[in-house]
């Protein structure tokens, strides 16, 4: 038979038996005696304490005073409690006392409990049923297994984030190294280093965000700034005539949220890139567009550059064709002449998407020498930029670009992982 402590038993085990506490208190008094009213205050469960202490002839009571009779060598009941709490055996007469005092209770064995279930229908399979092997002698209540499960929502990645992650992964597999750069740029890196003249319409109030605070940043090292300045003004040593105007340091040091990833390419070119080398960026850009289903003021761009002495326009087309196949499952592609201030020749990529039809995928070109030479790069540099949001929208089954930043938790919870 197994026993375990009751709540009271556990309390006495922890704080000592009341009679033990009383005996110790009386014994600690100089006259080995204490006034009743004092003891009542000091001893928890005083009536019980007094009853058992007197029954054991450890103390006696006279004239409202409790005095010591014999100081016990041991407290067998206290010891018994300790033993039972450790699962050790205790003598029969002590068990009786403990049971009588409701300090312990019988523990039914698992087997006993389980035996009660024999022949019955049970709700759950439990570890006890397995251990006692009684599962062989019970029936399990059948469930309505055709009821669908209660809805729970797993933690998930945002589907647009997953889409971008996959593109990043593919570009790394294709040998591109990721570029990084600041969200707030000087116009120098966003425009000047890319040979966009300072009075270019893309740099005006309506096409580019500006900051009211902080307004100006610092220009990079003098050597680069002076070369870029000269290239704008007269072509410097690039073989170009340049834009022929007076270049302003002030305009170049104005700060702006970057308007395209190409500023990351410009920084990379100026920072001793590997040759041959391949670099890419997937980065947030900002433009003061009218906000509608196709435009938002923040968007992601995917851009990249390839540097090598051997590169030419055929390679540019080869790379674009590969992108169209990789990212848009395009069967057919078209290359169309285009214009960008920083590339020449320039090209636009159209891809025939299986569902969307002909889609403009992005622009590309070979960087002008007015861009590469001032930044210290002497080999041809292919530059490309892809608009991926359209494909993200298609994949996510949405037709409003603002949904890429959706605040609709229900939609996110219910969106399948694709």
Give the binding range for another protein (CB under 8 A) out of 92-100, 109-117, 137-145, 306-314: 306-314
Site string for another protein, 32-61 (x = CB under 8 A): ------------------------------
Query: Is 210 a residue that touches another protein (CB under 8 A)?
Result: yes
Q: Residue 284 phi/psi, 5° resolution?
A: -75, 135
Distance of CA 222 to the CA centre of its chain: 42
The rounded distance, in Å, linking the Cα atoms of 254 and 270 is 19
Site for another protein in 348-407 (CB under 8 A): 348, 366, 368-370, 380, 382, 404-405, 407
Between helix 313-328 and helix 159-173 the angle, nearest 10°, is 140
**Of 339, 378, 397, 400, the one binding another protein by CB under 8 A:** 339
Query: What is the CB neighbour count within 10 angstroms for residue 288?
Result: 14
The rounded distance, in Å, linking the Cα atoms of 213 and 257 is 12
The rounded distance, in Å, linking the Cα atoms of 414 and 148 is 16
Give the binding range for another protein (CB under 8 A) out of 45-53, 64-72, 291-299, 390-398: 291-299
* Start-to-end CA span in the chain (Å): 60
**Of 223, 298, 331, 378, the one binding another protein by CB under 8 A:** 298
* DSSP reduced 3-state for 104: strand
* DSSP reduced 3-state for 65: strand
**Of 186, 198, 262, 301, the one binding another protein by CB under 8 A:** 186
Site for another protein in 240-269 (CB under 8 A): 240-245, 255, 257
Q: Which two tokens stand for residue 214?
A: 């902080």
Contact 186, 253 (CB under 8 A): yes
Q: Which is nearer to another protein, 313 or 394 (CB)?
A: 313
Q: Which is nearer to another protein, 244 or 331 (CB)?
A: 244
Query: Is 270 a residue that touches another protein (CB under 8 A)?
Result: no
Query: Positive or negative CA dihedral for 410, 411, 412, 418?
Result: positive
Q: Which is nearer to another protein, 38 or 237 (CB)?
A: 237
Instruction: Tell the smallest beta-carbon distance from residue 175 to another protein (Å).
Output: 5
- DSSP H helices, 87-201, are 92-100, 110-115, 127-131, 159-173, 187-190
Question: CA angle 98-100-106, nearest 5°?
Answer: 65
How far are the Cα atoms of 181, 219, 331 from residue 152, in angstroms, in the given order? 40, 53, 40
Asked if the peptide bond before residue 23 counts as cis, ω within 30 degrees of 0, the response is no
Query: Is 149 a residue that touches another protein (CB under 8 A)?
Result: no
The rounded distance, in Å, linking the Cα atoms of 363 and 11 is 80
Instruction: Tell the smallest beta-carbon distance from residue 253 to another protein (Å).
Output: 10
Q: Which is nearer to another protein, 27 or 248 (CB)?
A: 248
Instruction: Tell the smallest beta-carbon distance from residue 250 to another protein (Å).
Output: 15
**Of 10, 32, 101, 177, the one binding another protein by CB under 8 A:** 177
Site for another protein in 217-236 (CB under 8 A): 217-218, 220, 235
How many residues in the shown chain lie near another protein by CB under 8 A? Answer: 105
**Of 288, 326, 394, 395, the one binding another protein by CB under 8 A:** 288
Instruction: Tell the smallest beta-carbon distance from residue 276 to another protein (Å).
Output: 5
**Of 119, 149, 155, 357, the one binding another protein by CB under 8 A:** 155
**Of 139, 334, 378, 399, the one binding another protein by CB under 8 A:** 334
């Amino acid at each position: 038979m197994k026993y375990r402590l009751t709540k009271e038993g556990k309390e006495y085990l922890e704080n000592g038996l009341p009679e033990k506490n009383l005996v110790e208190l009386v014994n600690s008094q100089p006259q080995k005696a204490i006034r009743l009213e004092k003891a009542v205050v000091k001893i928890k469960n005083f009536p019980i304490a007094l009853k058992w202490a007197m029954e054991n002839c450890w103390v006696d009571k006279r004239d409202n005073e409790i005095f010591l009779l014999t100081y016990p060598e041991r407290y067998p009941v206290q010891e018994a409690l300790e033993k039972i709490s450790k699962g050790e055996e205790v003598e029969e007469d002590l068990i009786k006392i403990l049971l009588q005092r409701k300090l312990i209770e019988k523990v039914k064995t698992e087997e006993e409990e389980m035996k009660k279930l024999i022949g019955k229908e049970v709700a759950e399979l439990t570890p006890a049923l397995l251990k006692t092997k009684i599962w062989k002698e019970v029936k399990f209540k059948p469930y309505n297994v055709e009821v669908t499960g209660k809805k729970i929502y797993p933690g998930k990645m945002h589907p647009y984030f997953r889409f971008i992650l996959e593109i990043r992964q593919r570009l790394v597999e294709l040998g591109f190294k990721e570029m990084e750069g600041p969200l707030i740029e000087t116009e120098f890196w966003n425009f000047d280093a890319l040979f966009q003249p300072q009075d270019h319409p893309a740099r005006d109030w309506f096409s580019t965000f500006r900051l009211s605070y902080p307004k100006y940043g610092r220009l990079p090292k003098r050597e680069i700034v002076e070369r870029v300045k000269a290239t704008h003004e007269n072509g410097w040593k690039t073989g170009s005539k340049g834009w022929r105007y007076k270049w302003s340091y002030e305009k170049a040091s104005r700060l702006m949220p970057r308007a395209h990833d190409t500023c990351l390419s410009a920084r990379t070119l100026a920072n001793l890139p590997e040759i041959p080398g391949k670099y890419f960026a997937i980065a947030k850009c900002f433009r003061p567009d009218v906000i509608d289903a196709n435009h938002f003021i923040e968007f992601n761009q995917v851009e990249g550059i390839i540097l090598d002495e051997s590169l030419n326009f055929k390679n540019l087309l080869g790379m674009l064709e590969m992108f169209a196949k990789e990212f848009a499952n395009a069967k057919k592609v078209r290359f169309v002449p285009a214009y960008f201030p920083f590339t020449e020749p320039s090209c636009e990529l159209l891809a025939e998407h299986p569902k969307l039809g002909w889609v403009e995928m992005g622009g590309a070109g070979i960087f002008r020498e007015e861009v590469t030479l001032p930044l210290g790069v002497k080999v041809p540099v292919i530059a490309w930029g892809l608009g991926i949001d359209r494909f993200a929208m298609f994949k996510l089954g949405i037709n409003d670009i603002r949904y890429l930043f959706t605040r609709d938790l229900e939609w996110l919870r219910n969106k399948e992982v694709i």
